Amino acid sequence: MVEIKQRSLEVNGLQMRVAEAGEGPLVVLLHGFPETWYSWRHQLAALAEAGFHAVAPNQRGYPGTDSPDDVADYNILHLVGDVIGLITALGEQTATVVGHDWGAPVAWHTALLRPDKVRGVAGLSVPPNRRGNSPTLAALRARFGPDYYQLYFQRPGIEAEFEADLDRTFRRLLVGVSGDSGQVRQLTVPAEGGFLGALPAPVELPAWLTEADIRTYAGSFTESGFTGPLNWYRNLDRNWALTAAWHGARITPPALVVVGDRDPIVAALDLDRLARSLRGFVPNLGDFTVLAGAGHWIQQERPDEVNAALVNFATATS
């Protein structure tokens, strides 16, 4: 059995909670919203067994890691800076960087802004996205309409919806956009019921998710709350402005994409066409893997397949 250890490190003046396992070349695993290092529990063990030092931080604003008060302190330059600072704090010069959900844009931007630090970059559920020609919120509104969830997350005070009943939050969210949900959910928020109200209460949990997992997530957010995680979304236009210098730049490190075809983030897209189009933006993109029947929480839903993909990728980039 591989032991997963936790500790706190000082990273860019923040106290950051990390979970880690194994020894060898460094692989950094970046969680998404609203998760923690725990979403990587299967991958930490698999990478350690394969001869890697796997490290999954709770990123800024998340449980056990400092949460700055200023919304602007959650912009993409700070998030990328935390990854670079973590690599340094661990005594390394480079890492293979892997991200899921919000962690994927952080991983892609780390490779874009600091390719000298990234041996390879992998994104789960969220493929790399070129910087647009107009501010992000306006672009989202034009493409998806005013009820798109990322626009809803801009509203002040919606933390209360997530924090009112943490068990309900994680039960509905983890099942509702998984491959086991029964349908691919639209990521829009109805006029009544809020974000969670659009997700049904599951009758039972799928095989990949246990009651203990729900308790672990809910317990982690009891003290930290959701303001820090939601502040990531509240920087979307700021991120667009801050990355103007990289408009048109390419992501050059070796890259991997893994998505599920029942993930609402990509389910409406022509994935073959997307994979072809990305190669001009990510010239060293290798595999673009689509897992049939998988939803958004891909590394938890399909750990064996994701583990194999990440071990092979980390081996090839080390």
> Among the residues of the chain, which ranges form H helices?
41-49, 76-89, 103-113, 136-144, 149-152, 159-163, 166-176, 194-197, 211-224, 227-233, 236-242, 271-278, 298-301, 303-316
> Is 116 tagged catalytic?
no
Cα angle for residues 246, 250, 254 (degrees, 5° grid):
135
Instruction: Find the catalytic residue in 53, 78, 100, 296.
Output: 296
240/108 Cα distance (integer angstroms): 14
> Is 213 tagged catalytic?
no
Q: Do 36 and 59 meet the contact criterion of CB atoms below 8 Å apart?
A: no
Q: Do 111 and 64 meet the contact criterion of CB atoms below 8 Å apart?
A: no
146/148 Cα distance (integer angstroms): 6
Name residue 314's amino acid.
Answer: A
155/237 Cα distance (integer angstroms): 14
Instruction: Find the catalytic residue in 66, 101, 180, 263.
Output: 101
Phi, psi values for residue 26, rounded to 5°: -80, 135
Name the residues annotated as catalytic: 101, 296
